[in-house]
C-alpha cells in the first residue's frame, strides 16, 4: 500500500507501508463538503492576515500571523489532496491507484500556487508597510507594526513564481511528450 502526501515545498511524496491499514470509506458528497470547508477556512485565514498584519503599536493582534500563513499552506496541501480524491472518484479509480506522475497533480498544484500568488500580491500592495516609509521615518518612528514585511512577501512571491514556472514546464512537457493510443471507448456517452 502506498501513501501519498505533499511536503511543505509542495512536492509529492510516496511511502510504502507494509503493515495493514484499516480501510476508510468516504462518499463523494463528503469530499465536496470537505473541499468547500477548506476553501472557506483558507479564505478566512487570508482575511485575518489582511486585517491583522499591520496594526497600531497600541493594539494587540488576535492571531499569530506567521502561524496563520503556515496554516494556509497546510490547508492548501489538504485541498489539493481532496481535489485529487474527487478526481479519482469521478474517474472510477481509488486514490491509492493514482499514478504519482499524473498530470492532474501538477494542474491542481498550479491552481493552488497561482491563488497563493494572487493573495500575496494583494497583501504586498495593500497590507504591508511601504519600505520607503520605513526608510524615511525608521522602524521606531512608525506608529504601527507589521509581521509579514514587504521583503518577506516578495521572497514568498519569488518562491511562488519559481514553482509556477516549474509546474508549467512539467505540464507542457507532459502535454508535448506523452502519447496515448486513441481507441474507441467501450462506454457510450448517452444524452
Reading the chain (191 residues) residue by residue, the pLDDT tens digits are 455 555 555 555 555 444 445 567 888 999 999 999 999 999 999 999 999 999 999 999 999 999 999 999 999 999 999 999 999 999 889 888 998 889 999 999 999 999 999 999 999 999 999 999 988 888 788 999 999 999 999 999 999 999 999 999 999 999 999 888 877 666 655 55
Q: Is 95 exposed, middle or buried (0-12, 13-18, 19+ CB in 10 A)?
A: middle
Q: Give residue-wise pLDDT tens across range 69-106.
A: 999 999 999 999 999 999 999 988 988 899 888 999 99
Domain presence at residue 168:
yes
Domain presence at residue 171:
yes
- When divided into structural domains, the chain yields a total of 1
* Strand-pair partners of 40: none
Domain presence at residue 150:
yes
Domain presence at residue 43:
yes
Q: Please, are residues 106 and 167 in contact by the beta-carbon 8 Å criterion?
A: yes
DSSP element (H, E) containing 13: strand 12-16
Domain presence at residue 85:
yes
Amino acid at each position: 500500500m502506498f501513501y501519498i502526501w505533499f511536503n511543505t515545498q509542495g512536492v509529492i511524496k510516496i511511502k510504502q507501508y507494509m503493515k495493514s491499514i484499516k480501510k476508510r470509506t468516504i462518499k463523494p458528497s463528503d469530499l465536496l463538503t470537505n473541499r468547500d470547508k477548506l476553501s472557506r477556512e483558507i479564505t478566512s485565514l487570508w482575511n485575518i492576515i489582511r486585517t491583522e498584519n499591520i496594526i497600531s503599536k497600541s493594539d494587540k493582534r488576535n492571531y499569530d500571523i506567521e502561524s496563520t500563513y503556515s496554516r494556509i499552506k497546510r490547508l492548501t496541501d489538504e485541498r489539493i489532496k481532496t481535489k485529487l480524491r474527487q478526481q479519482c472518484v469521478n474517474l472510477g479509480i481509488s486514490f491509492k491507484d493514482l499514478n504519482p506522475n499524473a498530470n492532474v497533480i501538477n494542474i491542481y498544484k498550479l491552481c493552488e500556487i497561482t491563488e497563493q500568488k494572487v493573495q500575496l500580491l494583494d497583501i504586498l500592495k495593500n497590507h504591508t508597510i511601504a519600505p520607503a516609509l520605513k526608510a524615511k521615518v525608521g522602524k521606531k518612528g512608525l506608529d504601527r507594526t507589521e509581521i509579514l514585511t514587504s521583503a518577506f512577501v516578495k521572497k514568498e512571491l519569488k518562491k511562488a513564481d519559481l514553482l509556477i514556472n516549474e509546474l508549467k514546464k512539467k505540464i507542457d512537457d507532459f502535454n508535448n511528450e506523452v502519447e496515448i493510443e486513441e481507441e474507441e471507448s467501450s462506454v457510450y456517452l448517452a444524452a
